[in-house]
Structure 1
Amino acid sequence: MNPDFKNIVMTPDLYRYLLAQAEPPGPVQRGLIERTRALGRPAEMQIPHEQAILLTLLTRLTGARLVVDVGTFTGYSTLAFALGLAAGGRVITCDVCEEWADIARESWREAGVADRVDSRMGPAAETLAALPEEPRIDLAFLDADKPGYAGYWKQLVPRVRAGGLLLADNVLYEGEAADPEADGNGAAIRVFNDLVRADPRVESVVLPIADGLTLARKVHDDDLPASV
C-alpha cells in the first residue's frame, strides 16, 4: 500500500457496513427521512444520517450552547444539533424557503426540541448580519447556496468563539471541486475551499463524509501568526 495514498473505495456493501456502525435513526428521524424522500428530487439536499450523527457528536464535544445552521431544508441538521445541545442551548437556523418549513417544525416538535430552535426566514446574509458581532457562536454549519459560502464564512468567523467550530457541507461537490475547469457551484466551492485553506484564523481539514465536509476550528488569538 502506498503510504501517501491511503484510502478505500466505498462500495455499496462497505457503505451498508459503515451505516451499521452508527446509532440508527430514531422514530422521529426515520419519519423525517421518509417525508423528505417523498419530496422527490429535492430530497438530495438532506444530509445523510451518518453525517447527522457526527453533527450531534461534535455539538456535544464542544459543549455548544449556540449553534448557527445556515440552510434548514426539512430540518434534519437542525434536529441533529438540537439533540446535542448543552442545557439551555439553542440553534438558530435560517432558510429562504417556506415550502418545507412545516415538515421541519413538526419533526422538532415530535422530538421534543422545538423550544431549542430559533427558525428565521430570509436571506442568510441578512440573518447573519443581525447577529451580535462579539464572538459567542460555538458551532456554525453551512449547507445552503454554494455561491454564498464565501460571504457567509466572512460573516461567521468573527462571530465564532475561539475554540469553536465551523462546518461546511458539499465541499467536494460530487468531485467537481477537484476540477480546475469547474464552473457554477463547483467553481464556487473551489473558491470557498481556497478561502478556508488560506484563513489563518482557523485550522481545518476536509473529511470525505457524504459529499465532503469541512471541519474548521477557530484558533485562539495567542495561536495566530505574528503577522496577523
Structure 2
Amino acid sequence: MVPLSFAGDEFALTRSGALYWPRENALLVADLHLEKASFFARHGQMLPPYDSRETLERVALAIRETGARRVITLGDNFHDSDGSTRLEPHACGMLEALTRAVDWVWITGNHDPSMEARCGGTLVEEMQLGGIVLRHQARRGESLPEMSGHYHPRLQLKLRQRHVRRPCAVVSTDATGGGRIILPAFGALTGGMNAADPAILKALQPAQTIDAVLPASGRLARIPLWRAAA
C-alpha cells in the first residue's frame, strides 16, 4: 500500500486497486463485474466460469491486508442485474462469509441498477461518508469531493522503448482544495480505458489538475494527464 492524500484526509492505495480509508476503517473497490464470464457464456462466448471466485479472493486479501471493517463497492458489482442469481454455491458462500465479516455496502451502477443483495450486504444508489460523495459514475460539475468508478482507468505510456499498461486511479484537484477520484476496476475479468481519454478528463471537470496515480516501487507514482490553462 502507498499513502494518498485526498480532500484533507489520508488514504492508502493498494496494488490491487482498492482504496483504504483509515479514518473510516473502510475499503473501497470499484467495478467488480462479478459473473461476467457467465453473462458471456449465455451469449455464446464460453469463458472459464471462475472470475467471481478470483475477484472475491482479491477482496478478501485486501480486507486482510488493511484490516478494514467496512467494504463499499462503487457500482457495477455484477456484470448485469441478474448476475447475483447466477453465482454458483461456492462463490455465493465466499460472498456471504465476507458480508458477514464486515459492514458491506453495495453502490449500484449502470450494469446492475436492479441487482439484489442475495448473498448479504446493503444496497444504495450513492452515499456520503466523511464529507465525500461515493457513487458509481463521476458527475461533471460536482462541487463536493467525490469517489467513483465506471471508467476502468488504465495508464498507457511508453517507457524506455516499452509500452506500459497498468490499472490506475485518476485524481483531480479543484480551486476549493477538494477534488475527485476515479478508482480502477477491481474485477478479475475487466478491461481498461486510457486514463487520458477525453471522456475521463471531461467527467472530472471543473478541475485544475488531473493525474494518474498508482503504486510503483513502494511509492505513489503521479503522472500528469491534464492541466488547466494558466
The two structures have a TM-score, normalised by structure 2, of: 0.36
The two structures have a TM-score, normalised by structure 1, of: 0.36
Higher relative contact order (CA 8 A, sep 6+): 2
The structure where strand makes up a greater share of residues is 2
